[in-house]
Structure 1
Amino acid sequence: MARIVTMGEIMLRLSTPNNEKFIQADEFDINYGGGEANVAVSLANYGHDAEFVSALPKNPIGDAAIATLRKYNVGTKHISRSGERVGIYFLETGSAMRASNVVYDRANSSISTAKADEFDFDEIFKDADWFHFTGITPAVSDSAAKLTEEALKAAKKAGVTVSVDLNFRKKLWSSEKAKRIMTNFMQYVDVCIGNEEDAEKVLGFKPGNTDVTAGELELNGYVDIFNQMCDQFKFKYVISSLRESFSASNNDWSACIMDGATREFYHSKKYHITPIVDRVGGGDSFAAGLICGLCDKKDFKLALEFAVAASALKHTIPGDFNLVTREDVEGLAGGDGSGRVQR
């Protein structure tokens, strides 16, 4: 199995129960989650050696976040115990035509104030096969952006394969700032993952006539931008998840990939997901499935099918983490989507 390092922020998630709006809620359900942490949990579930790098305060809430990661066999020895607080996000889960809503309370969180000298990157990337980060971490603060760049330099120096999930968050930074910082980071990236909004807002590429809000996909547009991205950044693979959103509870889900060397383009099987239990973490479960497939040396098409099946299953699970097994994913990817009771 591969040794995979992810780096980012794990947050305390406070979500309203039973699809309630914030104004209705008298209590919140508690989970922990965050882009790169979600990826690490999935990869550990698939049997890989997953290590999560972050910063958390030395207090009981920081302890609880670390205990949650350890529960799912994620390595935590490179988490710096520094800073003053765990970031929080509040989630109001939508239904039907009412969209979900996220409110961040993560200013001055531990990862946003962490410095590169808190981490021994030579040790972190020793014997590592893969490093994964997202566009969320550098968006948190200028300090976190500098930390991310130092990690990327160290990963490339160590000969580690690097993947990014572009993950544009308009509540954290502007498209202009995202383009300036993330475009520079692409020199370190081998595998680029995103969706149509990420490609446009983070790197400036727009796929044809696709309108995600209308549930319409124009695959030729993705072929065009993938070719441009491979030309500009020399990616080994470019991948986009494809969400056709008919309502908050009713989506079609698939993905496409291009081999940067051959320029072969492939569109996966499509899953119709309804009712959606929890779509938060869906993209992270997709990234983890793809990384798993590629680290397993699967053909890139089979790796994509594994990723799409994994993320389709995540939509049925509450919380940020995708708590499914390889067998679960391989069963769905192989055509067993009946949902029959297993006896």
Structure 2
Amino acid sequence: MKVLTFGEILLRLASPGYTRFFQKDCLETSFCGAEANVAVSLAILGVDSAFLTKLPKNDIAVSAVNSLRYFGVDTSKIVYGDGRMGLYYLEKGASQRPSKIIYDREYSTFSLSKLNDFDWNEIFKNIDWFHWTGIDPALSDDMIGICLEACKTAKSKGITISCDLNYRKNLWSSEKAQSIMPELMQFVDVCIANEEDADRTLGITAKNSIQEQGKIDKSDYICISNEICQRYGCEYVAFTLRESFSASVNGWSGILYNSKKGKAVFSPNYKIQLVDRVGGGDSFAAGLIYGLICGKDDKEAIDFAVAASCLKQTVEGDYNRTTVQEIEQLICQGGNGRIQR
């Protein structure tokens, strides 16, 4: 089975370690992007994955593509045009100081994409699963039409569609998101989200849970999941549940709701000493897709997705570099951190 992810790959410029912006006279570079992160994670897990974007023709873009090829991601569908790569700046938080991200994506090659840049009938040849995120339509009005055309074409071909709602307040308002995302959601088979995503993009709010205070009411997420399925016809809804005790320590778990069974399953909860939380949700999405593709039952799939994303948050950079064996070992042994010899 082949998975295609669609989105923007970015250049990440991060303050070294846990320093403030320009506390040191250098920034550490790497490549990232929600949908690219998913493609890399899937490739490492052994899934045939491809990534689609639009890039400028320059050496930085070549390096970005090579970073994907290194992990075995198929980049043959990428299109090229004028412009520049998008980027973001990262300052990692610690203890009570939160992390900060500053986007510089306006007028990037991808955000300036037009509908005729993508021949979806050709692109979807030999594709079984299509994954996109709410970041895509947030980038431009043209991208809204592109996502709609992609979803319509994928649905007409019987391709499974997954979407991570991925609300980004620095890219669009909640009002704009709620005016756009419901139409796109009509095509989605697997919806992936967190509490804020569901609230800001779909207007569906958890009544009793306050993740920032470590308060999670599981019944909230069953109700939200059921409402999403009722409104949009999704087969699955998966939530990440993050308890933010501080910028350094988080609780991490997840829920998978199966609309055909009308039943939700929950993962174990991991207490993570964070190294780099950026990309945690993307590794969760990849782990869930992997689990569903491999025919795992609902409990096995959510356990795998949460364990994969738990390990990602102990790894520097956006890409998850953990293997199936390491993830399964965490699930079986609970992750005591003892040295492996």
- Whether the 8 Å contact between 1:277 and 1:315 is mirrored in structure 2 is yes
Amino acid at match of 2:145: K
- Whether the 8 Å contact between 1:83 and 1:111 is mirrored in structure 2 is no
Amino acid at match of 2:173: S
1:165 aligns to 2:164 (yes or no): yes
Take 2:73 and 2:144, find their aligned partners in 1: how far apart are those partners? 24
Match of 1:51 in 2: 50
Take 2:241 and 2:311, find their aligned partners in 1: how far apart are those partners? 15
* CA-CA distance at 1:23 after TM superposition: 4.2
1:8 aligns to 2:4 (yes or no): no
Take 1:113 and 1:55, find their aligned partners in 2: how far apart are those partners? 9
Match of 1:311 in 2: 309
Match of 2:89 in 1: 90
Take 2:219 and 2:82, find their aligned partners in 1: how far apart are those partners? 47
1:235 aligns to 2:228 (yes or no): no
Deviation by residue 1:137-189 (Cα, 9 ceiling, x = unmatched) = 11011122221111111111111000000000000000011011111101110
- Whether the 8 Å contact between 1:243 and 1:252 is mirrored in structure 2 is yes
Take 2:95 and 2:22, find their aligned partners in 1: how far apart are those partners? 19
The two structures, once aligned, show a CA RMSD in angstroms of: 1.0
Take 1:107 and 1:48, find their aligned partners in 2: how far apart are those partners? 32
Amino acid at match of 1:250: V
Deviation by residue 1:82-138 (Cα, 9 ceiling, x = unmatched) = 131000100000000000000011111111111232222222212211100000111
TM-score, normalised on structure 1?
A: 0.98
1:324 aligns to 2:334 (yes or no): no
Match of 1:186 in 2: 185
Match of 2:287 in 1: 289
Match of 1:279 in 2: 277
Distance 1:159 1:195, change over 3 A: same
Match of 1:62 in 2: 61
Take 1:329 and 1:208, find their aligned partners in 2: how far apart are those partners? 33
**Structure 2, unaligned runs of 5 or more:** none
Take 1:271 and 1:289, find their aligned partners in 2: how far apart are those partners? 16
Take 2:233 and 2:260, find their aligned partners in 1: how far apart are those partners? 9
Take 2:127 and 2:208, find their aligned partners in 1: how far apart are those partners? 40
Deviation by residue 1:17-61 (Cα, 9 ceiling, x = unmatched) = 021111413100001000000000000001111000000100111
| SS of corresponding position for 2:245 | strand
- Whether the 8 Å contact between 1:54 and 1:111 is mirrored in structure 2 is yes
- Dislocated runs of 4+, deviation >4 Å: none
Moved more, 170-179 or 112-121: 112-121
Take 1:317 and 1:172, find their aligned partners in 2: how far apart are those partners? 26
Take 1:264 and 1:66, find their aligned partners in 2: how far apart are those partners? 41
Taking every aligned residue pair, what percent have the same amino acid on both sides? 48
| SS of corresponding position for 1:19 | coil
Give the paired residue count.
Answer: 341
Moved more, 261-270 or 118-127: 118-127
Take 2:248 and 2:171, find their aligned partners in 1: how far apart are those partners? 26
- Whether the 8 Å contact between 2:133 and 2:164 is mirrored in structure 1 is yes
Take 1:131 and 1:114, find their aligned partners in 2: how far apart are those partners? 19
- Whether the 8 Å contact between 1:235 and 1:260 is mirrored in structure 2 is yes
Amino acid at match of 1:334: C
* CA-CA distance at 1:336 after TM superposition: 4.2
Amino acid at match of 1:120: D
Take 1:68 and 1:18, find their aligned partners in 2: how far apart are those partners? 22
Take 1:127 and 1:63, find their aligned partners in 2: how far apart are those partners? 25
Amino acid at match of 2:215: E
- Whether the 8 Å contact between 1:164 and 1:192 is mirrored in structure 2 is yes
Take 2:126 and 2:56, find their aligned partners in 1: how far apart are those partners? 28
Match of 2:222 in 1: 223
Match of 1:302 in 2: 300
- Whether the 8 Å contact between 1:208 and 1:222 is mirrored in structure 2 is no
Take 1:149 and 1:182, find their aligned partners in 2: how far apart are those partners? 10
Take 2:140 and 2:67, find their aligned partners in 1: how far apart are those partners? 25
Q: Superposition pairs for residues 68-147 of structure 1, below 5 Å? A: 68-147=67-146
Deviation by residue 1:199-240 (Cα, 9 ceiling, x = unmatched) = 100001111211111111011111111121111111101110
